Chains A and B, each alone.
Chain A
Amino acid sequence: MPIEKEAKSVEEAMEKICEELGKKREELEFEVIEEKSRGIFGLMGNKRVKVRASLKGVQPEQEKGQGAQEVVNDALTYAKTVLERIIAGIAVPSQVEARVEEGSIYLNIKGDGSGLLIGRHGQTLDAIQYIVGRIVGKQLGEKKVIVIDTERYRERRRENLERLSRHMGEKAKSTGRAVSLQPMSASDRRIVHLALKHDREIETRSEGEGGMRSIKIIPRRRGS
């Protein structure tokens, strides 16, 4: 039952698929099967991606097995090398642990506790993650999800965002007014949406474009 969707971004395509199937992302396996970028230097918004999704556990192509595993391992080794090279250029050489989980690559930098590689609001870590993703995608001709973490930053960030979401959700409810959060990255916004998904008294919406996209928490009127 693989399903395909085309959208402007992988994120958007994944969202569409989840909506259509009524499934959570964790329950699905995604694969980017086509990426087209038109426009000048890929700067314009003419990008189309096609994403295929299938239920986890249901493996449409059994022959995938070893071949795919090898590709992932190549990507893993290469991603690790690129990351080590970059952090050696920024700071001191650090150890990197690499693992594959459900087709995504996780790289954990053994940090020195200085937070240098995290940066303000994680912007350095996000920049490194983005660049490593670009390089691996470019060199291997295949887009892989690469998550880079250090000092459990991503995990702590999620906990903080969930706390913030609940707090702001309460504020929206008690004041009866919409609360706008600061602009956030797509992955951060996803955490907020999910954190407040089950609260029936409020709804969350993303507004604005690009780097300014932010979440608005809107109290639902009673009885409407």
Chain B
Amino acid sequence: MKELIEYIAKALVDNPDAVKVTEIEGEKTSVIELSVAKEDLGKVIGKQGRTARSLRTILSAASTKNNKRAVLEILE
């Protein structure tokens, strides 16, 4: 799941090298933290948060498949 978010985020931003994704695994829920270059924040959030929402939707589909819950945190 971490790789998936990383792949998508890197493809969306101007500075792919600055994309960092960490997964904090919990018992039932993992938290995936995404950080990008400051200028790229808008690219992963999108207009009215649409990109961020889509990322979360895709992530929850992926976690359904793995019988886990995952939440995406975009770090500022």
**Contact present for B58 and A47 (CB under 8 Å):** no
Rounded to whole Å, the gap between the CB of A142 and the closest CB of chain B is 15
How far is it, in angstroms, between the C-alpha of A223 and the C-alpha of B73 when the chains are bound? Answer: 57
Rounded to whole Å, the gap between the CB of A94 and the closest CB of chain B is 12
B64 at the A/B interface (Cβ < 8 Å)?
yes
> Which residues on A sit within 8 Å (CB–CB) of B54?
126-128, 130-131
Rounded to whole Å, the gap between the CB of B48 and the closest CB of chain A is 5
Interface size class of B (residues with CB under 8 A): 20 to 34
Given contacts A130-B50, A135-B11, contact A119 B61 (CB under 8 A): yes
> Which residues on A sit within 8 Å (CB–CB) of B39?
41
Given contacts A86-B8, A89-B3, A89-B7, contact A128 B58 (CB under 8 A): yes
B68 at the A/B interface (Cβ < 8 Å)?
no
Q: Which of chain B's residues has its CB closest to A118's CB?
A: B61
Q: Which of chain A's residues has its CB closest to B1's CB?
A: A89
**Contact present for B47 and A127 (CB under 8 Å):** no
**Contact present for A41 and B58 (CB under 8 Å):** no
> Which residues on B sit within 8 Å (CB–CB) of A130?
50-51, 54
> Which residues on B sit within 8 Å (CB–CB) of A119?
57, 61
Given contacts A89-B3, A131-B54, contact A124 B61 (CB under 8 A): yes
**Inter-chain CB contacts under 8 Å: number:** 76
> Which residues on A sit within 8 Å (CB–CB) of B55?
127, 131
Rounded to whole Å, the gap between the CB of A29 and the closest CB of chain B is 26
Q: Which of chain A's residues has its CB closest to B39's CB?
A: A41
B43 at the A/B interface (Cβ < 8 Å)?
yes
> Which residues on A sit within 8 Å (CB–CB) of B65?
90-91, 116
Given contacts A43-B45, A86-B4, contact A116 B64 (CB under 8 A): yes
**Contact present for B7 and A127 (CB under 8 Å):** no
A175 at the A/B interface (Cβ < 8 Å)?
no
**Contact present for A41 and B42 (CB under 8 Å):** yes
**Contact present for B61 and A90 (CB under 8 Å):** yes
Could you pull out 20 A-B pairs where Cβ atoms are within 8 angstroms? A41-B39, A42-B46, A43-B46, A43-B48, A47-B47, A85-B7, A86-B4, A89-B1, A91-B65, A116-B64, A119-B57, A119-B61, A123-B57, A124-B58, A128-B58, A131-B55, A134-B12, A135-B11, A135-B12, A211-B48
Query: Which residues of chain B have a CB within 8 Å of any CB of chain A?
Result: 1, 3-4, 7-8, 11-12, 39, 41-43, 45-48, 50-51, 53-55, 57-58, 61-62, 64-65
